[in-house]
Amino acid sequence: MRIIRSDERGRSHYGWLDSHHTFSFAGYYAPDNKGVSVLRVINDDTVAPGTGFETHSHHDVEIISYVLEGAIEHKDSMGNVTRLTAGEFQVMTAGTGVTHSEYNPSATETLRFLQIWIWPHTKGLSPAYSERSFPDAKRQLIASPDERDGSLLINQNATLERLQLTDGDVETLQLQPGRTGMLHVVSGAVDTGEVILSPGDAVITETDGNLNISAATDTEALWFDLP
């Protein structure tokens, strides 16, 4: 297993934005840490009230945003104008090209969200957008290539699952041969039997079989199953 600790992440601070980068991004360049499998970016972004990302472009990437605190206002060149609040997810297929902006519409509250990039299985896809809130559950499939169980569509042979565990819960994360798994801790603490993972920490495993974890306290985490 490979461990990425929260305090090992890169950081960008621009006054209005405080961002922690699990993988190389912006001014944080680590040639041996450019992502894992098709997962390229996990940024933990805190955005000051009344500020945000001006209109900018993307192409050939699947972008997943998960709002942790506050609200995010999204506008894009496909005509979508939406506002997501804490607990909601959105997926944007940039494909042949899309422009969008992301703002914190509050005058008083900060916005915190995770921005996740996954490379698609094919370039040149038609741009698309979707969003969804999910019920609280111990394990909830968030994104998949076939939209099963009400999950959001991503154009890659990968899945994203949210874990919401209470203190003492034990879970088995199955990993099929040839697959790569990554667990990112959002809050709380996870015991893998070898290490304790804290908020912002991640563990990457390519071992065939299972990753057995237990919650050392009430915990939220994201589990990526990757090719």
CATH number, domain containing residue 140: 2.60.120.10
- Using one digit for the tens of pLDDT, what is the confidence trace for 190-221? 999 999 999 999 999 987 678 999 999 999 99
- Using one digit for the tens of pLDDT, what is the confidence trace for 96-127? 999 999 999 999 999 999 999 999 999 999 99
What would you report as the CA-atom Rg of the chain, rounded to the nearest whole angstrom? Answer: 17
Whole-angstrom distance, CA of residue 48 vs CA of residue 95: 29
Residue 104 φ/ψ, nearest 5 degrees: -90, 110
* Bridge partners of residue 185, in order along the sequence: 221
Alpha carbon distances (Å) from 158 to 135, 151, 225, 227: 21, 12, 6, 6
Q: What is the pTM of this model?
A: 0.96
Q: What share of the chain is helix, strand, coil (3-state, %, to 5)?
A: 5, 55, 40
The domain of 97 spans: 2-226
State the pLDDT at residue 209: 72
Whole-angstrom distance, CA of residue 223 vs CA of residue 202: 10
Locus of tokens 């042949």: 96
Domain count, the chain: 1
Q: Is 28 exposed, middle or buried (0-12, 13-18, 19+ CB in 10 A)?
A: middle
Q: Side chain identity at 137, as an amino acid letter? A: A
State the pLDDT at residue 22: 98
State the pLDDT at residue 199: 98
State the pLDDT at residue 115: 98
Q: Kindly provide the residue ranges of all beta strands, DSSP E only, lying in 136-179, ordered along the sequence.
A: 139-144, 152-153, 159-165, 170-175
Intervals of the chain under pLDDT 70:
208
Q: How many CB atoms lie within 10 A of CB 128?
A: 16
Locus of tokens 């916005």: 111
Whole-angstrom distance, CA of residue 222 vs CA of residue 28: 23
Whole-angstrom distance, CA of residue 7 vs CA of residue 109: 25
